[in-house]
Amino acid sequence: MNNQPLIFELSKPGRISYSLPSLDVTETDLNELLPNDLIRDEAPELPEVSELQLIRHYTALSNRNHGVDSGFYPLGSCTMKYNPKINEDIARLKGFTHIHPYQSEETVQGALELLYDLQTSLEEITGMDEVTLQPAAGAHGEWTGLMLIRAFHEANGDFQRTKVICPDSAHGTNPASATVAGFDTITVRSNEKGLVDLEHLREVVGEDTAALMLTNPNTLGLFEENIVEMAEIIHNAGGKIYYDGANSNAILGIARPGDMGFDVVHLNLHKTFTGPHGGGGPGSGPVGVKKDLIPYLPKPVIAKDGDRYFFDYDRPESIGRVKPYYGNFGINVRAYTYIRTMGPDGLRQVSEDAVLNANYMFRRLQPYFDAPYTQHCKHEFVLSGKRQKKLGVRTLDMAKRLLDFGYHPPTIYFPLNVEECLMIEPTETETKETLDEFIDVMIQIAKEAEENPEVVQEAPHHTVIGRLDETTAARKPILRYEKS
Amino acid sequence: MKFRYLPVTEQDKKEMMDEIGVNSVEELFSDIPEKVRFKGEMDLKEALSEPGILKELGRMASKNANSGDYTSFLGAGVYEHYIPSVVDHIISRSEFYTAYTPYQPEISQGELQAIFEFQTMISELTGMELANSSMYDGPTALSEAAMMSAGQTKKKTILVSKAVHPEAREVIKTNAKGQNLTVVEIEIEEGVTNIDDLSQKYDDNTACVVVQYPNFFGNVENLAEIEKIAHSKKGLFVVSSNPLSLGVLQPPGKFGADIVVGDAQPFGISAQFGGPHCGFFATTKKLMRKVPGRLVGQTTDDQGQRGFVLTLQAREQHIRRDKATSNICSNQALNALAASVAMSALGKKGIKEMALQNIQKANYAKKAFINKGFTVAFSKNAIFNEFVIKFSRPVQEVNEMLLQKGIIGGYDLGRDFSEFDNHMTIAVTELRSKEEIDHLVLALEGVK
pLDDT computed for residue A2 by the predictor: 63
Tell me which residue in B90, B104, B353 faces A409 most closely, judged by beta carbons.
Answer: B104
Q: How far apart are CA B322 and CA A185, in angstroms?
A: 7
pLDDT category of residue B361 using cuts at 50, 70 and 90:
very high
Residue in A1, A18, A232 to test binding to B, most B beta-carbons within 10 Å: A18
Same domain, A193 and A284: yes
Q: List all residues 6 or more positions away from B55 whose beta carbon is below 8 Å from its beta carbon.
A: none
Q: How far apart are CA B448 and CA B434, in angstroms?
A: 20
Q: Assess if residue A478 is contained within a domain.
A: no
**Which domain, by its residues, includes A418?**
349-470
CA distance A212 to chain B (A): 15
The whole-chain average pLDDT of chain B stands at 97
The residues that bridge with A395 in the sheet, in sequence order, are: none
Lowest mean pLDDT among B8-22, B192-206, B309-323, B370-384: B309-323
Is residue A484 predicted with pLDDT exceeding 80?
no
Same domain, A293 and A208: yes
Same domain, A353 and A333: no
Last residue of a domain, one of A325, A342, A359: A342
Last residue of a domain, one of A303, A323, A342: A342
For the entire predicted model, the pTM comes to: 0.98
pLDDT computed for residue B1 by the predictor: 52
Enumerate residues 283 to 342 of chain B having a beta carbon within 8 A of any beta carbon in chain A: 288, 294-303, 305-309, 311-314, 316-324, 326-335, 337, 341
Q: Does A2 touch chain B (CB under 8 A)?
A: yes
CA distance A373 to chain B (A): 14
Residue A92's identity, in one-letter code, is R
Same domain, A332 and A361: no
Which tens digits make up the pLDDT trace of A100-116? Answer: 999 999 999 999 999 99
Q: List all residues 6 or more positions away from A369 whose beta carbon is below 8 Å from its beta carbon.
A: A383, A384, A385, A387, A388, A422, A442, A446
Say whether B74 and A102 touch across the interface (CB within 8 A).
Answer: yes
Residue A402's identity, in one-letter code, is L
pLDDT computed for residue B315 by the predictor: 87
Same domain, A371 and A282: no
Q: How far apart are CA A282 and CA A296, in angstroms?
A: 25
Which tens digits make up the pLDDT trace of B78-115? Answer: 999 999 999 999 999 999 999 999 999 999 999 999 99
DSSP helix/strand/coil, A373? coil
Say whether B327 and A95 touch across the interface (CB within 8 A).
Answer: no
Distances A185 to A171, A198, B326 between C-alpha atoms, Å: 13, 18, 15
Q: Assess if residue A80 is contained within a domain.
A: no
Q: How far apart are CA A245 and CA A126, in angstroms?
A: 9
Which tens digits make up the pLDDT trace of A412-446? Answer: 999 988 999 999 999 999 999 999 999 999 999 99
Q: Looking at residue A245, which CATH number applies to its domain? A: 3.40.640.10
pLDDT computed for residue B338 by the predictor: 98
Q: Where are the alpha helices (DSSP H) in A256-323?
A: 257-260
Domain count, chain A: 3
B71-83+350-447 and B85-341 share one CATH topology?
A: no
pLDDT computed for residue A404 by the predictor: 97
Lowest mean pLDDT among A98-107, A114-123, B173-182, B318-327: B318-327
Distances A187 to A193, B99, B429 between C-alpha atoms, Å: 17, 32, 52
Say whether B327 and A179 touch across the interface (CB within 8 A).
Answer: yes
Looking at residues B427-439, what average pLDDT do you find? Answer: 98
Is residue A3 predicted with pLDDT exceeding 90?
no
Q: How far apart are CA A280 and CA A260, in angstroms?
A: 31
Residues of chain A with pLDDT > 70, as a percent, come to 100
Q: Assess if residue A2 is contained within a domain.
A: no
- CB pairs < 8 Å spanning A and B: 693
pLDDT computed for residue A58 by the predictor: 98
pLDDT computed for residue A1 by the predictor: 43
Which tens digits make up the pLDDT trace of B228-247? Answer: 999 999 999 999 999 999 99
Nearest to B65, CA basis, from A109, A476, A184, A52: A109
User: How do the domains of chain B map onto residue ranges?
Assistant: 71-83+350-447, 85-341
Last residue of a domain, one of A309, A342, A375: A342
Same domain, A221 and A362: no
Which tens digits make up the pLDDT trace of A325-351? Answer: 999 999 999 999 999 999 999 999 999
Is residue A178 predicted with pLDDT exceeding 90?
yes
The whole-chain average pLDDT of chain A stands at 97
Same domain, A333 and A371: no
The verdict on domain B85-341 having CATH code 3.40.50.460 is no
What CATH number belongs to B71-83+350-447? 3.90.1150.10
Looking at residues B388-416, what average pLDDT do you find? Answer: 97
Same domain, A294 and A414: no
Q: Does B18 touch chain A (CB under 8 A)?
A: no
Q: Looking at residue A381, which CATH number applies to its domain? A: 3.90.1150.10
Q: How far apart are CA A280 and CA B294, in angstroms?
A: 10
Looking at residues B72-78, what average pLDDT do you find? Answer: 98
Is residue A254 predicted with pLDDT exceeding 70?
yes
* Pairing between β-strand B279-283 and β-strand B130-131 as defined by DSSP bridges: antiparallel
Which tens digits make up the pLDDT trace of A121-165? Answer: 999 999 999 999 999 999 999 999 999 999 999 999 999 999 999
Same domain, A335 and A355: no
